[in-house]
């Protein structure tokens, strides 16, 4: 049984870009901000004190399993 929240294609892409940005993170005001906010609500992203989104460890793990298709 699938027990993880479903990610729309746009949110999977946003998660991938977020992980690629590393510690720099992604700023607000970009076209994928709604997806980044959705990822934040799911615990896959967080907003830093500098106002930039960064991937959480859960987000990194989800990217590895769903986008990169790697075993956890």
Q: In the chain, what are the domain boundaries?
A: 9-67
pTM of the model as a whole: 0.91
Query: What pLDDT score was predicted for residue 72?
Result: 59
Q: What is the dihedral of CA 57, 60, 66, 70, to 10 degrees?
A: -100
Instruction: For the domain covering 9-67, report its CATH number.
Output: 1.10.10
Residues 58, 52: Cα–Cα separation, whole Å: 17
Output the tens digit of pLDDT for each of the chain's 72 residues.
567 788 999 999 999 999 999 999 999 999 999 999 999 999 999 999 999 999 999 999 999 999 998 875
Residues 2, 36: Cα–Cα separation, whole Å: 23
What DSSP assignment string belongs to 42-53? HTSEEE-TTSEE
Query: What pLDDT score was predicted for residue 35?
Result: 97
Region of 69 (left: φ > 0; alpha: ψ -120 to 50; beta: rest) is left
């Amino acid at each position: 049984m699938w027990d993880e929240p479903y990610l729309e294609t746009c949110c999977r892409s946003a998660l991938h870009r977020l992980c690629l940005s590393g510690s720099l993170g992604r700023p607000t005001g970009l076209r994928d901000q709604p997806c980044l906010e959705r990822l934040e609500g799911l615990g896959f992203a967080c907003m830093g004190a500098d106002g930039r989104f960064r991937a959480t460890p859960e987000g990194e793990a989800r990217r590895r399993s769903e986008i990169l298709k790697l075993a956890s």
